[in-house]
Structure 1
Amino acid sequence: MLTDLPVHEPTTEMVGRELELTSVCGRLEDSSLRLITLAGAGGVGKSRLAAEAARLLDDTFPGGIRTVDLPACPHPEEAVGAVARAVDALRHPLPAAHEPSTAAGAAPAHDPKSGLEPRPRALLILDGVEHIAARLAPVVADYLAGCPWLTVLATGQEVLRIYGEQVVPVAPLPPPGPLFEPDVADVQDNPAVQLFTRRAHEVNPGFALTAENVTSVVDICNLLEGVPLVLELAARRLRLFPLQEVQSWLHRGGDSHLAGLVDVPPRQRSLLAAAEWSCRGLTDGQRTLLARLALFRQGATLATAEKISPLSPAETAAAIEELLDRNLLRLDERQHTESRLTMSRTIRVHSLSVLDGDAEEAAAARRVHTRHYQKLMHSLEGRFHGSEQQRWLRLAAAEHDNVLAALDHVAEGPDLAPRAALVTACLRPWLVRGELKPGLHWFDSTAQAMHEADGRSGNEDETDPRLRARLHTGAGLLAAALGDHDGAAHRHRRAVALYKRLRDARAGALASARMGHALFRCGDQAVGRSLLIAARTALEGQGDTVGSAEAAASLAEVMMASDHPQDALSLLERAERIQRQNGEIRDLARTLHLRAQLAWDEDDEAGAQSALRQSLTLYDSIDERTELAAALDTFALLVQRGAGQPQRATRLLAAAENLRRRTGVKVDGERWDRLQGAVTELRSQLGWSVFATAWVEGLRLRPETMVGEALAAVEPGQRADRGEAAALTPRQLQVALLVAEGMTNRQIASRLKIAEWTVVNHVRNVMRKLGCRSRVQVAWAVGRRR
């Protein structure tokens, strides 16, 4: 392969580009395709891919192969001259360049301009057409028209836009993605992991992918987004530092200072150089827009980009198209939400550094960003209930990291009200998505800042007391979700005091009900019960049906614990009716979970499964993560006991445990003992090998697939193995024996000191399990078993 200018010839093996290489080679072998452009962001390996394709197809181009390193040309006219010299060299090759060849796929083409006999095919590689594409395009078009034997393979962050141009997008290597406790076998074939580990081994021969370092390697590959140049530069640091030090340094943003080899093109010698080269030639307006978009950690929609742009709408549209054309931005399609403009980590870090270089513009950009999310979350806050809440909750989830960025900006200002308003607007999406610990931090720290501001001023109402009450309420709900019920009670107590000062009876009653529930969960059943009864009565008197339904469901939980199942059922039925009418999906799912627990306590397995399936479906409809784990636990225990599917029960218990680790939710002692007992029983039943396999499968279930795994369980009455599933529980056997003695339902209820309707459920389940149609058959079946 001949070159017009010195070009770096890599000696290392190319990694992870097998499909792209096959695609490029296939196009180059097709003589009807005259211009192929490999387009992609800086550092993704376009030049390397082109060089490898040319190496493999040397025989396909007997007329010669020439490469022009366009970025090495100081000025556009010099680049045009270098291309002219390369084409001339291919038109008039030296005698030793190539002997006449009849290689397959190399059909000769007639050259009308030269007047010579038909010529063999030749390949011209134009490496790095970005920044001069507009100047180079007409030149390349002329050569293609006048030299039918010529094929051009271009690489660049933008394309030439010539008729007939075949554009081949070159993306970063796919990273492994978030994995829970990854195993070497899971990721050793991932292209990004392969590239990082190979380059790491080259600089540190003792490095290998192991069970001890695989988590760090996966984290680095995900963090660096699979960009080959960045991965290779990061791997080079292992020559001097341990892997964990490199990982920590990268998380602190150290990759912006990564330096590389000196025998590569200058634009590839560091990430800073690569970013500066990529942004070369941008107008001031384009740079400013790119810098403002860099503030969006999760990308921005096109509509958002227009709102925060310093340019006019027409100029903004043109700038976005230019940035997309140059691969400085990409438009990512998202399921359930609008497409988003995103950028690589390298460009984001560089753009933010440019932004910080102009203090006035940086302050303006952050104000615009913060105001956008203050308005957005304020408008969404009232939409997290009702028929379209799923849509708005998903939108809030898509904006989560952007909202955190806005909070970081507003936290630096002296005015606490905007910060408090933004924090309180985030309560519902944080609860639903399991962002509990960071959410609690923001609620508590903001409430503390407002308290300190009151202390400095000597006026306890210096800051808005209603906002402070809402902060304490939100903090209480988040603490309760985490399992810190003592902390929840403390925070709700503060909210109650503030609402009392504000004379807001409705909000005070709801806060009091939540405090009562927290106290009950702390073990103070009597006080919790009295607070819930009083709060429910007050809320009903004020016409707050939604609040009274929440209090009723909490009070039902107290009644269940104090062995008053009929009272609990009445409260749950009322709460369920109100919540269905008002579209309170999350509260309704929680109420149905309680109904399932009540049915299970009363040995109504079918009723428990029915209620729990509804609960799981509702949680899944809003992508709930916080309370889903508890519902999965309950369902797993039901499956274990009644459906004869121990492996599925194991997977569900593991999935729930994984969710708790992600969200930080704690399990109460009694429930924890019950879960551990189930795990021990399943391990014994399945054997260690089968159990461990099922457990790992459950750990690796994605949250969006967990409910599907649960709902695929066999329902009562559809068991494949009735021998195992038909075993009576101790209470069912007790009831069956009394039936065999000829007792009526009322007599059995009196003997066992349970409700008569509970006996009816037990008898029904006994008959179903034993396949009996009458009480006489139950008596005979029990007698036979005895």
Structure 2
Amino acid sequence: MFDLTTFRERIAALYRRASPYDGGRRATQRDLADAVGLNRSELNRRLRGAHNARLISRDVHAVVQTLVEWGAITTQAEARELLALVDCPDFTPAEWQSPPLDELTARESAAPAPIQTSNPNQPPSNLPRPVTSLIGREREMHEAASLITTRRLVTLTGAGGVGKTRLALEVAHRLLRGFSDGIFLAELASLHDPAAVPLAVAAALGVEEQAEQLLTETLRHHLEHKDLLLVLDNCEHLSVAVAHLVQELLDGCPRLHLLTTSREALRLGGEARYSVPPLPLPTREVAITAESISRCEAVQLFVARAVEVRPGFQLTADNAAAVHYICTQLDGLPLALELAAAQMYALTAAQIAAQLAARFRLLVERRYDADPRHRTLQATIDWSYSRLTSEQQALLHHLAVFSGGFTLEAVAETMQLAPLDVLDTMTELLNKSLIQAATSLGDDAGNAEPRFTLLETIREYALLKLREAGEEQMTRQAHAAYYQQLAELTEAKMEGSERAAWQNRLEQEYYNLSTAIGWSLEHEPQALNALQISSALWPFWRSSGRLSEGRRLLAVALSQAGEQAEPKLRATALTSTGRLAYFQGEYDTAEQWFEAALTLWRELQDARGTVSTLNSLGGVAYRRGDYQLARRYYGDCLVFKRQIGDKLGISTSLNNLAIVAGVLGEYQNARALFEQALALRRGLGSKLYIAVTLNNLGDVANNQRDYAAADNYYREALPMLREVGDKWRLAYALIALGDIAVDLDNYNEARLLYKEGLQLHQETGDRLGLTQFLEGMAMLAKEEGKLERAISLWGAAQAVRRMISAPLPPAQGARYEDIIASLRTDLGTTAFARAWVGGQMMSQEQAIAYALELIPASETSQNIYP
């Protein structure tokens, strides 16, 4: 069950609570990285699986041993659970018996074991035995059991149907031998009168009322000296009465422990709240196959319950996608999955998946013994909804329009309220398990703004209520307006020192941005919103590798907005579309968009827009090999930028002029211009633009065969590019480093660099970048003596360059012509022609597959340059 996300989150929770240093300082990820012999960035990439970085068994073992040494892991079971999350082999017996793991053995032997019901000497209890098996929940059982043994009051909280009762029963059974006077369950779900709570507890314990004595006092006397665990199930509708009783019992019974289940906490001092999550879902990175999703607990539960109503049902290649969709749409919520599986007596998995849009009609429990609150999925949520105030209900309705989570700021802005005016109501929804705290992209200190999310099932319910109230249109307009304002900050934010933070924020808000664009496009009067958002996001579309998506949305928005769009907005959108086409290597298409934009900018007499578009046209001219035209464009831009004192713009124009000088072989001039640009950019503190110029200086050094200098420039640039998340530029740097590795005969290193660069170019859809990968692999094939393959790859690359109008720069082209002429002599005219024509007839995809045959399947990129 490979679940890197859960592994990463659990590791973070463990090291943050460790205090291995003098003065009680808490550990950080940097401390963990140092302890296991990795730098922090590399450990972070491996924990996230970023850029094909992978955890290996040695890394996982080192992390676990460090956490044991720090005292964050205390049992073998906890250590093994971490290993299992990433399919890591167990420690050997010798390792378990060696420090620091040998300390776990003694601790583990004292842990409570599952009870054997056939043992007549076990402590007393009234715990029922569930009629169905519990699927998964090993981590939750271990964590909850550990809490109960160390804290006297533990409350399992969570949304209705998440499995709180089932988990509480399983944990209680496992702990039975740990309480000498037994474990007793009082079920409160059917009670309506708060005064009946003590009666239900007394009945569960077999305690009778005494004359002239309050029942609570009788209970306290009965439990005063007992080593006992009392389980109170379904407390939410009687929370005040339960809290009063619990407090009185805890005060008077020092050996008593209580485990309660509730949709909201009791809010008592000393209460340990354990939030029960839905069952884990298949990760997005995993391909949907029967084998891959069968390891997921949500899928396992659905299949197990489906077999109960349709014996012989199996997870197969034919139904895997439908089962995956069902589990994902139902959030891994056990009740919802069981209700869906119950429909398998009459429907197929594909039919259930197709009808989930009407989930509240479909998911009905037909067993006569079902809890009335759980007979339908809607009844489960209705019950929680009915207990909300009108203000809480209104906020829940409003939250339905968000996708992928939200922040307090976003909610407050879209409701036109101050954050503090929303905070209390949001906190109540969080306490009632109707919204969940979500993971934020932040630092180890937890400084990122907290995010919250709705389970999809609750979001659908809230959306129905929003529509019933007739407020969907107004709420979605407010949502779209907020995300339009957010998007319009993108270009300025991503040009400065905040680029990495802003990239992270846009990644978190990606689904909200997409929802705002999609809704605006579906409602034609709002098409201008879609055009403004998609146009403003062009730097994000590029840096995140979503160029095709950005172009598609811009094309649709331009079409739908039509004449509604004011000339300035239309010119901005045309420029943005041209930039995305440029970054995908479609220079003819990009030029058309830029020329159309330039006409509008000039009509508007907008100097900034005009100069920006001229700069883009300079890029097109450069890629086509018209270097003198590119130099004129860039020179004109530099004059204007100096006139208005735009330092970043000046540095960009200097950088562009230097690039032209470099390809023309004017290396001294190029280096001087780059150094001027770099000084300006260092002063501005923009890591992205510093990295760009460092890369360019690396290119100059590379062309001059000064590989040591080139390597130093690239090494300094790469961490910055990884940090800011610019996949497009990072890919070019990796390919360039691969070229150096080939020239230095480091062929295995070159393979790793080329492979990572290829993957990034494929993500961005950059055809020129893919061509440079083919050229690099051709040189590698040539150096390894695979001459015909080298010629075919160069032929394929040349065909693509011709197709996209991107000739080789003069210096590079002259070198390749010399090499190819030499190969023609070595191979002979016939063999050379056969290989060259064969390459030119390949599609780009076929040529890439042919090149990858030079990289063994076992060869994986380890980000050798951090």
Q: Normalized against structure 1, the TM-score is what?
A: 0.72
> Would the alpha carbon gap of residues 70 and 690 (structure 1) be closer, same or farther in structure 2, given more than 3 Å must change?
farther
- One-letter code aligned to 2:640: Q
Correspondence 1:50 to 2:161: no
Could you say if the C-alpha distance between residues 468 and 61 of structure 1 is closer, same or farther in structure 2, counting changes exceeding 3 Å? same
State the secondary structure of the residue aligned to 1:603: coil
SS at match of 2:495: coil
1:169 aligns with 2:275: yes
TM-score by length of 2: 0.66
For 2:858, the equivalent position in structure 1 comes to: 693
Match of 1:711, SS state, is coil
Task: Give the distance between the partners of 2:852 and 2:700, measured in 1 at CA.
Answer: 32
What is the SS of the residue equivalent to 1:296?
Answer: coil
2:135 paired residue among 7, 11, 15: 15
Amino acid in structure 1 at the alignment position of 2:166: R
- Is the alpha carbon distance of 1:210 and 1:676 closer, same or farther for their aligned partners in structure 2, counting shifts above 3 Å? farther
Match of 1:276 among 382, 386, 391: 382
Kindly provide the CA deviation profile for residues 466-522 of structure 1, in whole angstroms up to 9, marking residues without a partner as x. 21111111111112223322221111111111122223345324313312423553x
Q: Indicate conservation of the 8 Å contact 1:175/1:190, yes or no.
A: yes
Contact 1:510 1:535 in 2 (8 A): no
Task: State how far apart, in whole Å, the 2-side matches of 1:676 and 1:494 are.
Answer: 38
Q: What CA distance in whole angstroms lies between the structure 2 residues aligned with 1:17 and 1:603?
A: 59
Instruction: Determine the structure 1 residue equivalent to 2:545.
Output: 434
User: Counterpart of 2:463?
Assistant: 352
Quote how far apart the aligned CAs of 1:408 are.
3.5
Distance 1:150 1:68 in 2: 15
- Counterpart CA distance in 2 for 1:643 and 1:689 is 15
CA deviation map 1:265-316 (0-9, x unaligned): 2333443333223323101111111222232223332333333447776653
Q: Which residue of 1 aligns with 2:536?
A: 425
Partner of 2:632: 534
CA pair 423-60 structure 1, distance change in 2 beyond 3 A: closer
Q: How does 1:225-624 map to 2 (within 5 A)?
A: 225-234=331-340, 253=357, 259=363, 261-263=365-367, 264-309=370-415, 316-336=422-442, 337-359=448-470, 361-379=471-489, 381-411=491-521, 412=523, 414=525, 417-453=528-564, 463-521=565-623, 523=624, 525-526=625-626, 529-544=627-642, 546-547=648-649, 549-550=651-652, 553-554=655-656, 569=671, 572-583=674-685, 585-624=687-726
In structure 2, distance between residues paired with 1:237 and 1:639: 59
Amino acid at match of 1:158: E
* 1:36 alignment partner, SS class: strand
Q: Which amino acid aligns with 1:655?
A: E
Q: Point out the more displaced range, 680-689 or 648-657.
A: 680-689
Query: Where do 5+ consecutive residues of structure 2 fail to align?
Result: 1-116, 118-125, 209-216, 443-447, 787-850
C-alpha displacement of 1:224: 4.8
Letter in 1 for 2:481: R
Change (3 A) 1:533 1:312: closer
Per-residue CA deviations over 1:603-638 (Å, capped at 9, x if unaligned) read 222222222223322212322233322322333343
The amino acid that maps onto 2:193 is P
Closer, same or farther: CA 496–277 of 1 in aligned 2, 3 Å: same
Residue 339 and residue 356 in structure 1: after superposition, are their counterparts in 2 closer, same or farther (change >3 A)?
Answer: same
CA gap of 1:246–1:488, structure 2 versus 1, over 3 A, is farther
The residue type paired with residue 335 of structure 1 is: L
Pair 1:666 & 2:767 matched = yes
Provide the secondary structure at the position in 2 that maps to 1:38.
strand
Alignment of 1:140-151 (within 5 A): 140-142=246-248, 151=257
Give the CA deviation at 1:176: 4.6
Aligned to 2:90: none
The 3-state SS of whatever aligns with 2:734 is helix
Whole-Å separation in 2 of the counterparts to 1:608 and 1:180: 37
Aligned equivalents of 1:169 and 1:579: distance in 2?
Answer: 47
CA distance in structure 1 between the aligned counterparts of 2:218 and 2:333, rounded to whole angstroms? 44
Residues 677 and 540 (structure 1), Cα distance of their counterparts in 2 relative to 1, 3 Å cut: closer
Alpha-carbon contact 1:506-1:539 (below 8 Å) kept = no
CA distance in 2, matches of 1:214, 1:576: 53
Structure 1 CA distance for aligned equivalents of residues 261 and 441 of structure 2: 31
SS at match of 2:284: coil
Question: Between Structure 1 and Structure 2, how many residues are aligned?
Answer: 659
* CA distance 1:436–1:181, shift in 2 (3 Å): same
Distance 2:414 2:766 in 1: 37
- TM-fit CA distance, 1:567: 5.9
TM-fit CA distance, 1:235:
5.2
- Percent identity of the aligned residues? 29
Offset from partner CA, 1:708-732 (integer Å, 9 cap, x none): x2325xxxxxxxxxxxxxxxxxxxx
Distance in 1, Cα, partners of 2:514 & 2:852? 46
- CA–CA separation in structure 2 for the residues paired with 1:519 and 1:242: 58
Shift of 1:570: 5.4
Matched, 1:135 2:233: no
Report the alpha carbon displacement of residue 188 of structure 1 after superposing the two structures with TM.
5.9
Q: What corresponds to 1:154 in structure 2?
A: 260
Shift in Å, 1:86: 4.2
Which has the higher mean CA deviation after the structures are superposed, 308-317 or 488-497?
308-317
**Residue among 173, 176, 199 paired with 1:84:** 199
| Inter-partner Cα distance in structure 2 for 1:613 and 1:442 | 36
Name the residue aligned to 1:72: 190
1:413 CA drift (Å): 5.5
**2:789 is matched with which residue?**
none
Deviations 1:174-227 (A, max 9, x none): 445332548888776554454455445656666666789878877765665443
CA distance in 2, matches of 1:215, 1:286: 37
CA 1:203–1:625: 2 relative to 1, 3 Å:
farther
SS in 1 for 2:232: strand
How far apart are the structure 1 equivalents of 2:371 and 2:714? Answer: 62
Q: How many Å apart are 1:422 and its aligned residue?
A: 3.4
AA paired with 1:21? M
CA gap of 1:112–1:196, structure 2 versus 1, over 3 A, is closer
Cα deviation for residue 326 of structure 1 reads 1.0
Distance in structure 1 (CA, Å) of the matches to 2:183 and 2:366: 26
Give unmatched runs, 5+ long, in structure 1: 94-110, 454-462, 699-705, 713-786
Question: Are the aligned partners of 1:90 and 1:122 in contact in 2 as well (CA < 8 Å)?
Answer: no
Cα contact 2:535–2:577 (8 A) shared by 1: no
RMSD between aligned alpha carbons? 4.2
Q: Deviations over 1:79-117 (max 9, x none)?
A: x42651441352349xxxxxxxxxxxxxxxxx9779889
Distance of 1:114 and 1:710 partners within structure 2: 65
Using the TM superposition, give the Cα deviation of residue 405 of structure 1 relative to its aligned residue in structure 2, in angstroms. 2.7
Does structure 2 retain, via aligned residues, the 8 Å contact 1:450–1:468? no
Deviation at 1:154, TM superposition (A): 1.4
- Contact kept, 8 Å, 1:64 with 1:90, in 2: the verdict is no
Cα distance in 1 between the residues matched to 2:500 and 2:231: 51
1:61 to partner: Cα distance: 6.2
